[in-house]
Amino acid sequence: MQTWVITEENHNARIDKLVVDLHGQASRTHVQRWIQDGAVQVNGSQIKANHKVQTGDRIELIEPEPEEVNIEPEEIPLDVVYEDEDVIVVNKPKGMVVHPAPGHYSGTLVNALLYHCNDLSGINGTIRPGIVHRIDKDTSGLLMAAKNDHAHEHLSKELKAKTTERQYKAIVHGVISHSKGTIDAPIGRDQKDRQKMAVTHVNSRPAITHFILEETFEEYSYVTCELETGRTHQIRVHFNYIDHPIAGDPKYGPKKTLAIAGQALHAETLGFTHPRTGEAMRFQAPVPPEMEELLKELRDKH
């Protein structure tokens, strides 16, 4: 059971919208179904989805067990960068969804991993077996998956302790004037658009992105980003926040942008401590040809 006590900043908020923010993973449709089924209560009483909470109210959520979905192994080619009995590192192509979700129960990285590997950790259930962290559908690059529960717990603890190395390459709008910087701004659900994240102090979590300027062009910059935290859409939200949105980003960037399908963002470097041997592991994957071609065009114009 999860519980929250309403503070003054959320006084008079709708219960369904608020639980979406507080939970961080559930959609509004899911939350409204939970409310209808009595899984969400305020001060021990069942309420309706449009109920307005008051300061001091106690919200209780008994989240129902997720419905079992049969996720089938699929023979999908994988670019395996490293693999042993505990962990597998793959270079995910742009356009591939990481794990099944409504509307995407096939063709995902998980479907491919289930076919490729004899086993994956079961900590995240049947929908996300082995998945320790995610990268967006239209972001390419390195991602690790755990083959057993011990490896999963170890890698998850590393992520939480911020000792995992995750570097990205990105092409962003505008000419950045300083050689390096840190964006320290909390991220939460966008209050105006529930499908987006935003820099906000309302129901948010700390988010820190470091960056180094690699090159500048006439209207764009090429940067290396390092994640200290791993919030949903973090790099995309943070660079939009400082008025340098990722080129090609359909959700956070301008319509007039470079000719690329999806954001020009690539998870280039991944480093972690091996869950069994304690060895420092570090992997790199070069930016994909489409992004390299864009860089060449920008350099030629410049």
b/e map 53-82, b = 16+ CB within 10 Å: beeebebebeeeeeeeeebeeeebebeebe
Pure H helices in 37-195: 109-116, 149-160
> Are 196 and 250 contacting, i.e. CB atoms less than 8 angstroms apart?
no
Two structure tokens written together for 186: 């909390």
Alpha-carbon span 82 to 238, nearest angstrom: 30
> Are 253 and 245 contacting, i.e. CB atoms less than 8 angstroms apart?
yes
b/e map 222-252, b = 16+ CB within 10 Å: bbbbbbebbbbbbbbbbbbbbebbbbbbebb
For residue 136, indicate whether it is catalytic. yes
Two structure tokens written together for 156: 């998850």
Q: Which amino acid is at 236?
A: R
Alpha-carbon span 62 to 46, nearest angstrom: 12
Q: Give the closest residue to 80 by CA, choosing from 100, 109, 108.
A: 109
Q: Which amino acid is at 17?
A: K
Among the listed residues 16, 21, 86, 136, the single catalytic one is 136
Active site members = 136
